Amino acid sequence: MSGTLRKAVAEPVRDAVPFLVITTLWVVVMLVLYGLFLLTKPGDITYDAWVHATVFVVPAIGFLGHILQQALSS
């Protein structure tokens, strides 16, 4: 029974690793670009909250779509 359980757990974990790596890399890249955006903006300009939110919301929609796709394919 433990062999079956191990196989049942190992396969989804193995399938999730590439997605987790890609997600981690994308979050790091996104934060670096957002940091550059904040560092290079002129001091006399302020942005509304929606401008800052778009940095995180748009990729989050893609992540959620991928998670939903993976959940439905299982």
Q: What token pair was written down for 7? A: 């196989």
Q: Where are the domains of the chain?
A: 2-73
Predicted confidence at residue 1, as pLDDT, reads: 52
Q: pTM for this one?
A: 0.59
Predicted confidence at residue 74, as pLDDT, reads: 61
Predicted confidence at residue 69, as pLDDT, reads: 81
Residue 43 half-sphere exposure toward CB, CA atoms < 13 A: 0
Per-residue pLDDT of the chain (74 residues; tens, 9 = 90+): 567 877 777 777 787 788 788 888 888 888 898 889 889 988 898 889 888 888 778 778 878 887 788 778 76
